[in-house]
Structure 1
Amino acid sequence: MHRLFPALIALAIALAVLLSSVFIVRERDLALVFALGEVKESISKPGLYFKLPPPFQNVVFLDKRLQTIENKEPERIQTAEKKNLLIDYYVKWRISDPRQYYVTFGASDRGAVERLQAQIRDALNAAVNVRTVKDVVASERDEIMREVLNAVAARARPFGVEVVDVRLTRIGFVPEISESVYRRMEAERKQEANRLRATGMAESERIRAQADRTREEMLAEAYAKSQAIRGEGDAEAAGVYASAYGKNPEFYRFYRSLEAYRNAFSSENDILVISPDSEFFNFWSQTKDSR
C-alpha cells in the first residue's frame, strides 16, 4: 500500500501536466500562445492543440466574432452652417490580427471600443463639418457613412482591428435649431408645391388649347364636307328638275306655281297686295276658268 501511494501521486502529477499542456480552440475564438510573456504563436483555426505546461507557456483567448459598438448618447456634431446635429450610429468590427490587437489593447475589448469610438467621432466631425444640414440629413447621408467607414477602417487596421461597417441610425436636431429647420423645410416644400402647381396649370392650358384647336379643325372639316354634300345634292336636284322640266315644261311651271301658292298662303294672316292680272295668278285664273 505504501508503495502504491507514490505511484498514484506521480500519475496525478503526470495527468495534471498533460492536461495543462492541452488546450482547445473553439470556432469563435482566437488563441495566442505565450512563452515567458512573449507571443510565440497565433492560432485562428479551431481544434485541439498542445503546449508546454505553465509557467513555460500559457494561452490567452480572444473573441473573433463580429462585434457591435452602439453609442450610448448621440454625438453632437456641427455642420458647415454652424448648426449642431445629434447623431446615433453603430459600428461592426472584429479582430483581424490577434497578435497586434493584444499588444495594443490586451485581452479586454474595452480599450478597442474606446479607441474606435474616438476615431468615429473624429471621422464624423470631418465628414459633417463641411456639409449643410440638408446634405447630412438627406442627400449625402450614404456618402458620409462611406467616408466614416473608410477613415475609421484605415486608422484601426494597424491595431489589428477590421471595421466591417458603419451606419448612422438617427440624425436629429438640437432643440435650439429644430424650429428654424422645420420652417425652412416647410418653405422649401411650399416652393416646390407652387412650382408643381404652376407646371400643372401650364400643362392644362396647353392641353386645353390643343383640344380647342382640334375641335375647330374637326368642325371646319365637318362643315366643309357638309357643304360639299349639300352642293352635290343641290346639283343632283337641279339635274332632276332640269330633266323633268325638259320632258314637260308646262307641268313643271304648274308644279312650281302650286308650290308658290302654298308658300304664299301658308298662314291665314298672310296678305298680298298684287294685281289679279299678275303672272303670279296665271294658273289660278286658269283653274277658275276651267271650273
Structure 2
Amino acid sequence: MGKALLAIGLIALVILFNAWFIIPEGGRGIVVRFGKVLRDEQNIPMVYEPGLHAKWPLVSTVKVLDARIQTLDNQADRFVTKEKKDLIVDSYIKWRISDFSRYYLATGGGEVSRAELLLKRKFSDRLRSEIGRLDVKDIVTDSRGRLTTDVRDTLNKGSAGTDQDELETVQADLSVIPEIEDSLNVNSMAALGIDVVDVRIKQINLPTEVSEAIFNRMRAERESVARSQRSQGKEEAEKLRAQADYGVTKTLSEAQRQALIIRGEGDAAAANIFASTYSQDPEFFSFLRSLSAYEKSFASGNSLLFLDNNSEFLRFMKSP
C-alpha cells in the first residue's frame, strides 16, 4: 500500500513538473500537442513570451526559438561583374526571427540549419544579381553601401523580377507549408518569418590568377618608371658633372691667365729695376752678377768646368 502511494506520488510529481515550462530571456516558445502546433481562437499559432507558462503534461512539447539577432557567415564565393570580371566576395548576414509561428512552420520545426540554408541560397542569388549589374569601380567605391542595402531590401520585400527557375525553387522549398501561402511575396524572407537586419561585405578580392597578372603588370609598370627615373637621373648627373668640369676648367684657365699676367708684370718690373740699377753703375752691376754666377756654379764644391783661359766668365778672378 505504501509503495503504491509512493508510485502515485511520483507520477503526480512528474505530471505536475511536466505541466510547466520556462521560456528564457531572448527566446520565444511554440507548443506542439499531438504533433500539431497549438493555435488560438483565430487559428493563429501561439507564441509564448519569456517567462513561466503552463501546458498539458506529457502530450505537449515546447520548441524554444532564439529571438536575438543571429549572424550567418557566408563562405567567400566568386561573382561576375557587369564587365565580365571575376571577384571573390566575402560577406555575412545579420538576421532574426520576425514571425515565430511562420518561421517554425517554414523551417520544419524551427531548424536553424534549414533557415540558414534557405537564407544563404536566396542571399547568394540576390548578391550575384546585384553585382552583375555593377562594374568593379562601382562596387569598390560603394561608400554609401547601396549594394548591401539593395540586397537587404530585396531579401525582405522580395523581387517582382525574379527568374522563373528561382521562383520555382523557392516555392518547392515552401510547398510543404500551406500556411504561408497568403498575401506575402513567396520570394521574400518574410515568407519564412525572417527579417534580414543587415548585410555586410567583409572584403572583396580578385581571383589568384587575376591578382598575379595585375601584380605582374603593376610590377612591370613600376620597373619601367624606375628605369625612366634612373635614366633621367643619370642624364641630370652627366649635365651637372659637365657643368662642374666646365666651371673647373674655366676657373683654372682664368687663374693661369691671371698668373701669367702677374708674372709678366713682375718680370717687367724686375727688368726695369735691373735696367735702372745697371744704368747707374754698369761695372759694379756686372761684378755682382758675376759673383752670383760664381756662387751658383761652385756652391756644391764638386763642380768641374772646362773653360778657355780667355773666357769672360772668369775675368774677375784673373785680376783683383
Q: Which of the numbers 141, 146, 163 marks the counterpart of 1:143? A: 141
TM-score scaled by length of structure 1: 0.57
Q: Where in structure 2 are the equivalents of 1:118-133 lying within 5 Å? A: 118-127=125-134, 130-131=135-136
2:64 corresponds in structure 1 to: 60
Higher relative contact order (CA 8 A, sep 6+): 2
Is 1:225 the counterpart of 2:282 in the alignment? Answer: no
RMSD over aligned CA atoms reads: 4.7
Q: Counterpart amino acid of 2:71? A: L
Query: How far is the alpha carbon of 1:163 from its aligned partner?
Result: 1.9
One-letter amino acid of the counterpart of residue 167, structure 1:
Q
Distance, in Å, in 1 between the alignment partners of 2:49 and 2:129 is: 32
Asked if structure 1 preserves the Cα contact closer than 8 Å seen for 2:72 and 2:92, the reply is yes
Shift of 1:122: 1.0
Give the match for residue 13 of structure 1. 15
Cα deviation 1:80-128 (Å, max 9, x = unaligned): 3xx463x443322232x4225874664332211111111111122122x
Give the corresponding residue for 1:269.
none
**Alpha carbons of 1:144 and 1:24: their partners in 2 closer, same or farther (altered >3 Å)?**
same
* Structure 1: segments with no counterpart, 5+ residues: 44-48, 260-280
CA distance in 2, matches of 1:12, 1:186: 74
From the superposition, tell whether residues 191 and 16 of structure 1 become closer, same or farther in structure 2 (CA, over 3 Å).
closer
Which residue in 2 is equivalent to 1:262? Answer: none
Secondary structure of 2:141's match?
Answer: helix
Alpha carbons of 1:79 and 1:200: their partners in 2 closer, same or farther (altered >3 Å)?
Answer: farther
Please name the residue that 1:89 is paired with.
89
Task: Establish whether residue 208 from structure 1 lines up as the match of residue 243 from structure 2.
Answer: no
Deviation at 1:215, TM superposition (A): 1.8
Q: CA deviation at 1:229?
A: 4.1
How far apart in 2 are the matches of 1:255 and 1:100? Answer: 134
SS in 2 for 1:70: coil
The alpha-carbon distance between structure 1 residues 235 and 74, as it changes in their structure 2 partners (threshold 3 A), is same
Task: Answer yes or no: is 1:32 the counterpart of 2:28.
Answer: yes
Number of positions where the alignment pairs a residue of Structure 1 with one of Structure 2: 237
**Contact preservation (8 Å) 1:42, 1:98:** no
TM-score (norm 2): 0.53
Counterpart residue type for residue 111 of structure 1: L
DSSP-derived class of the 1:51 partner:
strand
Alpha-carbon deviations, 1:222-255, whole Å to 9, x = none?
3323433443444445445544554456366678
8 Å CA contact 2:139–2:147 kept in 1: the answer is no
Q: Take 1:236 and 1:101, find their aligned partners in 2: how far apart are those partners?
A: 118
Structure 1, residues 141-175: CA drift from partner, whole Å, max 9, x if none? Answer: 743796643433443466522223343345267xx
